Amino acid sequence: MTRIVVGPFNRVEGDLEVSLDMADGRVKAAYVNSPLFRGFEQILIGRAPLDALAIVPRICGICSVAQSAAAAAALADAMGIVPTPNGVLARHLIQATENLADHLTHFYLFFMPDFSRPAYAGRPWHDAVARRFAAVRGEASADVLPARAGFLKLMGFLAGRWPHTLAIQPGGSTRAMTAGERIRLLAQLREFRSFLEKRLFGDTLANVARLSSKAQLLAWADGRPADFPVFVAAASDLGLDKLGRASDAFLSYGAYGIFPAGTWRAGEAAAFDPLAIDEDTTHAWLAQGNPRHPEQGETIVDANKAAAYTWCKAPRYARQAYEVGALARQVIAGQPLILDWVTRDGGSVMARVVARLLELALIVPEMERWVQALQPGEAFCTHGDMPDEGSGTGLVEAARGSLGHWLSVRRGRIERYQIIAPTTWNFSPRDGNQQPGPLEQALVGLPAGDGALPTVQHVVRSFDPCMVCTVH
């Protein structure tokens, strides 16, 4: 058996190293290393509780708002307040803008360039894909960068700027929309919808949202001149609908009041129990101990630990590894196309990408409804007092999946702050029972090494990893 070390694994957010034990040209075992440690949980200790709103966005430049929202939710929980109706809508809009912009960034800038690789020269789709999706030089960038920047102009109105806003507060948002701004938000959303319909889907969002099975999607995509259908053709040709399966155990905290929280495992949906989460440090360069619920979690560096191979803890739900992300959200929401796909073929590279892009078609119309529901003149923020002693939990869905913050306050200061980010779930190392994390499972059996197709690249990026969040 030989070992291959792959890194720097780029076009992910942050740095990533993957070690592959190989036999006969196939991966026998994979070990995922998140090589950067920044210590945000320690930075927060001793600060004023509301300082979390200024600090946690800086964990991540791509899920900055999701971090804000989780902190605001944890603080609101500790304060015993709920945001005003306008505040709820503003937060849905701010979170959705980031989440959907991230889906777009992932597809065009991080994921698709791998199909332009010379290894695929000769495939019927290769020349066209290389012309459109080559990294930096591809012609798609001239379409997608203005579309993304235009869409993020919603943040200029709603959140001041992106990334790293302080607009999201426990009681809602600092930025009330005026009647005139409401009209401009709708115009900005129309511009984005137009890009999606013309360039990404080649069809209306409503028609995409209506696709209800894998067979329907494949028939719909066949020969359609747009970016998503081009991906469907290339991914089908490469069999990416059968590659990169983890164990089809999915978790979602629920999003926007439209996608429910829950779990899904071996075809069985179940209610979500926040007390079933714990984190294991067996293979992280962190002090060893029994797995702990994040309310009691600790992050203590032990850089010389022999059994460790990453800075990432191993979060588990009922002692099992779970996959999070758009695919998990939509399986648990019972979205017909995704449920059909996963029931038929299980999770895969292709299913993850389809679920992500499907969310663009599902959520943009919701955003248009949320803007229309805003009531200018009514409060966008309510106010409350932070108790000197207390605790709170904030569970949200970032683009990449379930993000949780667990906070406790003592003598008016943050006593403990624990964070489990989406990629902490997906790229977790083995736990004390030697159970590999979802990516580690998904890589087993793949071809790798000299002369192999870049399948490993597709599988890793199909999770849309955010490494800076993973360890934080």
Partner 1 sequence: MKVLWLQSGGCGGCTQSMLCSDPRPLFDELRDAGIEFLWHPALSLESGEEALAILEDCAEGRLAFDALCVEGAMLRGPNGTGRFHLMAGSGRPLTEWVERLAQRASWVFAIGSCTAYGGFSANTPGNPLEACGLQFDEQTRGGLLGADFRSPEGLPVVNIAGCPTHPGWVVDTLEKAALEGLKPEDLDEFGRPLLYAGGLVHHGCARNEYYEFKASAEKQSDLGCLMENLGCKGTQAHADCNIRPWNGSGSCLRGGFACIACTEPGFESPGHAFQETPKLAGIPIGLPTDMPKAWFVALAALSKSATPKRVRNNAVADHPVILPAIRKKGGGK
Site for partner 1 in 194-233 (CB under 8 A): none
| Interaction pattern, residues 399-438, with partner 1; x per rule: CB under 8 A | ----------------------------------------
Residue 194 or residue 207: which is nearer to partner 1 going by CB? Answer: 194
The SS3 assignment for 276 reads helix
Task: Pinpoint the alpha helices (H) of 106-254.
Answer: 126-133, 140-151, 153-158, 179-195, 205-210, 214-221, 227-237
- CB of residue 111 to partner 1, shortest distance in Å: 12
> CB of 386 within 8 A of CB of 49?
yes
Interface pick for partner 1 out of 159, 261, 327, 354 (rule CB under 8 A): 159
Interface pick for partner 1 out of 176, 235, 251, 442 (rule CB under 8 A): 176
Is 39 a binding residue for partner 1 by CB under 8 A? The answer is yes
Is 160 a binding residue for partner 1 by CB under 8 A? The answer is yes
Interface pick for partner 1 out of 60, 196, 240, 338 (rule CB under 8 A): 60
- CB of residue 137 to partner 1, shortest distance in Å: 8
Residue 399 has which token pair? 């683009």
- CB of residue 229 to partner 1, shortest distance in Å: 23
Residue 134 or residue 276: which is nearer to partner 1 going by CB? Answer: 134
Phi, psi of 20 (to 5 degrees): -120, 120
How would you class 301 by CB atoms within 10 Å of its CB: exposed for 0-12, middle for 13-18, buried for 19 or more?
A: middle
Interface pick for partner 1 out of 77, 91, 93, 165 (rule CB under 8 A): 165
Using alpha carbons only, give the angle 461, 283, 432 rounded to the nearest 5 degrees: 110
CA 39 to chain centre: 21
Cα–Cα distance, 209 to 217 (Å, whole number)? 10
Q: Judged by CB under 8 A, which stretch of 41-49, 199-207, 218-226, 267-275 contacts partner 1?
A: 41-49
Residue 5 or residue 121: which is nearer to partner 1 going by CB? Answer: 5
Phi, psi of 73 (to 5 degrees): -70, -40
Residue 55 or residue 218: which is nearer to partner 1 going by CB? Answer: 55
Is 156 a binding residue for partner 1 by CB under 8 A? The answer is yes
Residue 141 or residue 263: which is nearer to partner 1 going by CB? Answer: 141
Q: Judged by CB under 8 A, which stretch of 7-15, 224-232, 355-363, 414-422 contacts partner 1?
A: 7-15
- CB of residue 50 to partner 1, shortest distance in Å: 6
- CB of residue 352 to partner 1, shortest distance in Å: 19
For residue 119, what is the DSSP state?
Answer: G
Q: Please, which of residues 262-301 interact with partner 1 by CB under 8 A?
A: 301
Interface pick for partner 1 out of 21, 51, 345, 366 (rule CB under 8 A): 51
Residue 102 or residue 203: which is nearer to partner 1 going by CB? Answer: 102
> CB of 439 within 8 A of CB of 467?
no
Long-range contacts of 78-81 (CB under 8 A, 24+ apart): 78/49, 78/386, 78/387, 78/390, 78/391, 78/392, 78/407, 78/409, 79/170, 79/384, 79/385, 79/386, 79/387, 79/390, 79/392, 80/384, 81/170, 81/171, 81/382, 81/383, 81/384
> CB of 72 within 8 A of CB of 175?
no
Residue 164 or residue 224: which is nearer to partner 1 going by CB? Answer: 164
Q: Judged by CB under 8 A, which stretch of 114-122, 243-251, 261-269, 315-323 contacts partner 1?
A: 114-122
Residue 462 has which token pair? 């199909």
Interface pick for partner 1 out of 21, 28, 35, 387 (rule CB under 8 A): 35
Q: Please, which of residues 135-154 interact with partner 1 by CB under 8 A?
A: 135-137, 141-142, 145-146, 148-150, 152-154
Is 22 a binding residue for partner 1 by CB under 8 A? The answer is no
CA 368 to chain centre: 22
Residue 95 or residue 173: which is nearer to partner 1 going by CB? Answer: 173
Cα–Cα distance, 129 to 106 (Å, whole number)? 16
Is 134 a binding residue for partner 1 by CB under 8 A? The answer is yes
- CB of residue 83 to partner 1, shortest distance in Å: 11
Residue 242 or residue 383: which is nearer to partner 1 going by CB? Answer: 383
The dihedral through the CA atoms of 470, 264, 27, 116 has a sign that is negative
Is 303 a binding residue for partner 1 by CB under 8 A? The answer is yes
For residue 430, what is the DSSP state?
Answer: -
- CB of residue 328 to partner 1, shortest distance in Å: 23
Q: Which residue type does 225 have? A: P
Q: Please, which of residues 69-108 interact with partner 1 by CB under 8 A?
A: 105
Strand bridging mode 26-33 / 168-169 = unpaired
How would you class 2 by CB atoms within 10 Å of its CB: exposed for 0-12, middle for 13-18, buried for 19 or more?
A: exposed
Residue 440 has which token pair? 């580690």
> CB of 83 within 8 A of CB of 172?
yes
Residue 190 or residue 344: which is nearer to partner 1 going by CB? Answer: 190
Q: Judged by CB under 8 A, which stretch of 50-58, 201-209, 221-229, 244-252 contacts partner 1?
A: 50-58
Q: Please, which of residues 345-384 interact with partner 1 by CB under 8 A?
A: 376-377, 379-381, 383
